[in-house]
Amino acid sequence: MAAAEPRRVRLGRALALGLMHGPAELLPISSSGHIELIPWLFGSDGVAADPELRKAFEVALHAGTAAALVVALRDELRAAFDELTPRSGALVALSLLPPVAAGFALERPIERHLGQPPTIAAGLIAGGLLLAWADHRSPQQRSFDDATPADGWWLGVAQASALFPGVSRNGATLTAARLRGFARADAERLSRHVALPVIAGATALKLLRLVQRGVPTDSAPVLAVGAAAAFGSTLASTPLIELVERDRSLAPFGAYRVALGSLALGRLWRARHANRSAQ
């Protein structure tokens, strides 16, 4: 019984984090930031303390979410393919270049040096403030059909910035689209269209690397539970897309991010103060 208890705990955490991942991915609040920060705030290492297993688990979550998005948005994806034009194709292609280049050049250094609570909290706060500011100051003049390859490039730059922990791919592309003058619903639609190829491509590449490195057999149930939970929670959370598409301020999402990041920074400050007092 004692040997089985840690496994049950890990499976329970994998289920909880998978259930959290779906809605966090669909909202502009940083799913990866939540997966790292929420367990830390509760004094846990998530599913494991081992960095490689945690990385593999995050890949499993993204795989589950990506599969669910393909299922949930299949009609929208089919329509996008049917209506593909040279201009829309160039837009998607240019939106891919910055995140692909940044991923190959910076992914490993960022994982090694920036995936800690202080940098995640900073990304949440900075991204939240920028999202609220861009949404407040930008007009709602442009529609989805007005998007040009130049817009694709700037959305790609925004996606590249999402490599920084806590920034949020959805939040960054929404910010860029609003700054480019797109209405909220059209900005969200653009965000989905440029994000899906990046999510799918990055997940496939990470899965390939994971297979090449090999996954310990005893961690397979944890990865499977996380992927299945992320798949189910993403499907169940697709109505949240309409919440973002409504013509309402995005400031509440920015405020939530600032609050969560501030909570993390507050805990870090208290821990540092306690350590100094103990010395």
Q: pLDDT value at position 134?
A: 95
Which residue matches tokens 């600032």?
A: 258
Q: pLDDT value at position 171?
A: 94
CA 210 to centroid of chain Cα atoms: 19
Q: What dihedral do alpha carbons 26, 37, 104, 225 form, nearest 10°? A: -70
Q: pLDDT value at position 234?
A: 95
Mean pLDDT by 10 residues, the chain (279 residues): 54 92 93 90 73 81 91 88 88 92 84 84 96 91 92 95 91 95 93 88 78 73 92 93 82 96 93 75
User: What are residue 243's phi and psi, to 5 degrees?
Assistant: -65, -40
The number of C-alpha atoms within 13 Å of 151 and in the hemisphere containing its C-beta is: 26
Q: pLDDT value at position 2?
A: 44
Query: Strand, helix or coil at 118?
Result: helix
Alpha-carbon distance values, 269 to 129, 261, 263, 274 (Å):
21, 12, 10, 9
Sign of torsion over alpha carbons 199, 232, 211, 167: positive
Q: pLDDT value at position 279?
A: 67
Structure tokens given for 205: 């590449």
Q: pLDDT value at position 128?
A: 96
Question: Among 262, 278, 250, which residue's Cα sits nearest to residue 29?
Answer: 250
Q: pLDDT value at position 6?
A: 54
Q: pLDDT value at position 8?
A: 57
92 and 153 in contact (C-beta within 8 Å)? no
